[in-house]
Structure 1
Amino acid sequence: MQISTTHRYNTAYIIGISFISALGGYLFGFDFAVISGALPFLRTEFGLNSWWEGFLTGSLALGCIAGCLLAGALADRKGRKPGLMLAALIFAASSLGMAFSQTLSVFIAMRFAAGIGVGMASMLSPMYIAEVSPAHVRGRNVAINQLTIVTGILITNLVNYQLADNGPEAWRWMFGLGAIPSLLFFAGVCWLPESPRWLLTVGRRDEAMRILRKIGGDTFASDTAAGVLQPLQSETRPAFSAVFEKSVRPMVIIGMTLAVFQQLCGINVVFNYTSTIFESVGANLDRQLFETVAIGTVNLVFTIVAMWQVDKLGRRPLMLAGSLGLTIVYLVLSLLLQSSAPAGAVSLVVLIAIALYATSLAPVTWVIISEIFPNHIRGLASSVAIVALWLAYFVLVFTFPILSEVLGTYGPFYLYSGICLLGFLFIRRKVKETKGRTLEQLGAPIGH
């Protein structure tokens, strides 16, 4: 059953609240990208070996796990908005904390705290956008979150590139400037309405209906309310064990597997260790930081392409194309790095990999995770999937410096190619198309 698109939607309002919520993605992009430009300075500042370099980079992911767990409970009990506000404040405090760190232990603690904010935002922003968006534009609107992530990555890389000539303390400015967008995000979230779907699940119908009418008029409001409330009549607030009940277990397994695959596909090694990769083929520091800007630019451009296509081509075709494409590109990249090819050739192949990822696994994974779970467990189930994502991210970025020291910089990319092939086979067999269907239709238990 396809949802009607004949309602009179308040498009400007829908996009406005989606963009404000998605500013959490911008901060996610900042904390994710800032480490790439700062690592050459941090290696000197703290005397990092390969183990500590991997742990320092991955400590963000450990905080993300805590943030996801906190956000999942907070989202289902108190609503989506309070969690977004708390994430913004954590972002601001941790940015300043990293900037003023005097020891490695303090810096890692502050980066862990930043991860709490990232973890909360990575779950709550796409969830909120999915819950306020009509079905026919939900994929595009959730992809706005990915757009702000890559915008944050690009702007952070540009700022890092400009700051790099300011001496050995430049890294402090790289991190400290994150407090500014954090406070702007907090101010924006104060204006957002609460998720109407969450309001309906906790019995605040009048508030929910006002928001739904503002989004799409009376008919849209009544249709949405009926879709949300009907399955709730026989449901109670779920325990954590509800996430693993037989009726929803297939959806949870698919969500967790896609989340893990999005990380273990290896692309975040390119984002986080750009300097290491290009140093291995003889590029100087200026060229290394320039490559982060090129990567950020391509990432942004092709994320916009994904937003344009995700509700047209659908989720599944994009995921299949991206995973198979990365399988091939990584093999080529491995061979180039192994033969110490010119930096320009390596750059071209890296940018092709970024383009493939940005149009497929990067945005579409978040879209699917925000869509496939039933309303009554969406917060808990999303947190489980995204905890799996951040665990996989930690494993990826922690192990890369160690693997590259043992195998050479090229070695891990053979492994990532194999993982991408396995991901392609999983998506082909298990992932169904979700475009154009309401959250209630998608979240119906198996057999309904």
Structure 2
Amino acid sequence: MEKSSQPLQAHVFRMAFVAAIGGFLFGFDLGMIGAANIYLKDQFQLTDAAFGFATASAVLGCIFGPTLGAWLCDAISRKQTMIVASILLALSAIMTAMPDLLGDGSNKSTMFYFNLFRFVGGLGVGLCSVASPMYIAEIAPSTKRGGLGLMYQLAIVVGHAVAPLIAYLIIVVLRTQYGVTEGVIPENPWHQAWRWMFFSETVCVAAFVCFVFGLPRSPRWLAEKGRYDEAEEVLSKVEGPEYARSEIQEIKSSVEAQKGTFSELFSPGIRFALLVGILLTFFNNWTGWSVIGGYIPRLLELAGFDRESAIGNFVAVYGAMGIMTVVSLLLMDRLGRRPLWIFASVMMAAITCATGFLFHYEVTGWPILLILALVTVPHGIALGGIPWLMMSELFSTRLRAKAVSITTSVLWIFIFSGAYLFPPITAFSQRQLPAERGVIVSGSTISFHDTNPDTIRDSAGKFEEAGFRIGDQATVIGTAQKANSGTFEIAEVTSDQLTLVEIARLNDEPAGANITVQVGSVALAFWLFTAICLASLIFGLTIMPETKGRTLEEIGASWQRKKRGSNETHQPS
């Protein structure tokens, strides 16, 4: 028996690995737009609003994809849904690389078709985000489901890391072979880097399709369709005949009940499971990493790194995330979901709080890089992967596709909201006002730009009275001494120690000069994440169930008992 277990384990690993490639496409697709969009803005003369929409249009497709995915997963199987997703991703990759083939050739028409096919690609990613983790959960034995389920999260991270590397190689090839230089738009469309960036995804999609064709259908989907012999055959290849016979009996008991409906998800007991799934998706995105991940190069620039170093370190940080996700694969089925979640919430709260203080006190250089790398530890170990894993664990077979479609759609809404709101949150934290405007700010977080250094020295006394430090000390005021126009004055210190700041113009200032005052740092954004991490900790201690070592049918049945109002008052444990 011991000898036969090795090939069985290898077989289930191969099946999970192939399904997880859907996560790689997810990460690669959304990672590549970050590299390509800088070219789109210049070439098509996009406004800030149009630029933002071009970047986010795929995410809109991701929001709607899971709803379509729920129907497809039930109707044509999880496997076939992954194939449909691949077709949509291939179509998107080709047409976003050549959007000017359609329409009248104007910038407006080209961007319309670009956004349309990015939306189509988002639908494909949304389908993968439902079908792939669901398939992995349904073919994996309960003792290995945690580690195998996290392969999907690892694949997302790898896709995100590979995308900028491929983009960089494309830029290097075009520069060395065809003399393409930065800042110049080549007349030959085939020398434009952004087109090849999108084309590159077709290679990954083609490989995914070839591998998926070799997968068996999910045994739980087969059983739901009454094809029990085929389901038992698949399960035999997973863990052996004895396991298959035992598992098929549990599956039969589950699927012989009335077919689940969307309305049943909101019935007592089961709606609690749905709430758990939605909270998992919220904390996945708003505890820190998922929001700031795409802005790491910008944060490193704020910390004093040049652009090239920031991009290089961005890839390194994602490499650290990959390592931590591998660690999570090894720990998940040994320690369980809840202990890892609680540990990660505490650690992430401490890290985001410390990061806020680093930005608040204008610390630059390697400490910022180190702290951002540390963020990958709690996210990689638990906060990133556990939601994807548990969304497919919480519900019975007959409700799983519908429930996962809802929680995944909500997850994409949180992803979109995080990507959309992080810049305004940091902008508010670093808010700038035009000249001759007043603002109430805390005494230790004010920065003056375009300010005469002589005026700063002359007004040192006023600043000291208001709680500011002037001179060579590492404060924002010190950096403002590099500016060369404008002046300021402290107008009032209120009873609650808030300082009202006003900007006055110098007589020798050039007409129409834009003088601004910057108040604060990005610390506020990180302290917001700290508060959410504490909420995540409370969730882990009080509400979050433990699913380690339990079959999917056992977990689903426990919610049914809760629904029937049994004496069991606790969630799955």
Q: TM-score range by the shorter chain?
A: over 0.9
Alignment of 1:237-252 (within 5 A): 237-252=259-274
Question: Partners of 1:174 and 1:344 in 2: how far apart?
Answer: 31
Alignment of 1:30-429 (within 5 A): 30-47=28-45, 51-101=49-99, 103-165=110-172, 166=175, 167=182, 169-233=192-256, 235-408=257-430, 409-429=522-542
Question: Partners of 1:40 and 1:163 in 2: how far apart?
Answer: 14
The answer (yes or no) to whether the contact 2:67–2:409 under 8 Å persists in 1 is yes
* 3-state SS of 2:280 partner: helix
* Corresponding letter in the other structure for 1:267: W
Question: Partners of 2:255 and 2:125 in 1: how far apart?
Answer: 31
CA shift, 1:407, in A, is: 2.2
**Inter-CA distance 269–36: structure 2 relative to 1 (3 Å threshold):** farther
**Inter-CA distance 71–378: structure 2 relative to 1 (3 Å threshold):** same
1:435 paired to 2:433? no
Question: Partners of 1:317 and 1:277 in 2: how far apart?
Answer: 31
Aligned to 2:106: none
Question: Partners of 1:337 and 1:104 in 2: how far apart?
Answer: 37
Question: Partners of 1:121 and 1:79 in 2: how far apart?
Answer: 12
* 3-state SS of 1:193 partner: coil
* Corresponding letter in the other structure for 1:136: T
Aligned to 2:105: none
The answer (yes or no) to whether the contact 1:323–1:361 under 8 Å persists in 2 is yes
CA shift, 1:404, in A, is: 2.5
The answer (yes or no) to whether the contact 2:337–2:548 under 8 Å persists in 1 is yes
CA shift, 1:7, in A, is: 9.5
**Inter-CA distance 435–58: structure 2 relative to 1 (3 Å threshold):** same
Indicate the larger mover: 333-342 or 19-28.
Answer: 333-342
Whose radius of gyration is greater, 1 or 2? 2
The answer (yes or no) to whether the contact 1:7–1:216 under 8 Å persists in 2 is no
- Give RMSD over aligned pairs: 2.2
Question: Partners of 1:66 and 1:17 in 2: how far apart?
Answer: 27
* Corresponding letter in the other structure for 1:421: L
**Inter-CA distance 202–276: structure 2 relative to 1 (3 Å threshold):** same
CA shift, 1:247, in A, is: 3.1
CA shift, 1:322, in A, is: 1.5
Return the structure number with greater strand share: 2
Q: Which runs of 5+ in 1 are unaligned?
A: none
* 3-state SS of 2:550 partner: coil
Indicate the larger mover: 310-319 or 171-180.
Answer: 171-180
Q: Percent identity?
A: 31
* 3-state SS of 2:561 partner: coil
**Inter-CA distance 82–155: structure 2 relative to 1 (3 Å threshold):** same
Q: Which runs of 5+ in 2 are unaligned?
A: 101-109, 176-181, 184-191, 431-521, 567-573
Return the structure number with greater helix share: 1
The answer (yes or no) to whether the contact 1:35–1:272 under 8 Å persists in 2 is no
The number of residue pairs the alignment matches comes to 443
**Inter-CA distance 54–338: structure 2 relative to 1 (3 Å threshold):** farther
CA shift, 1:222, in A, is: 1.1
The answer (yes or no) to whether the contact 1:33–1:271 under 8 Å persists in 2 is no
**Inter-CA distance 335–98: structure 2 relative to 1 (3 Å threshold):** farther
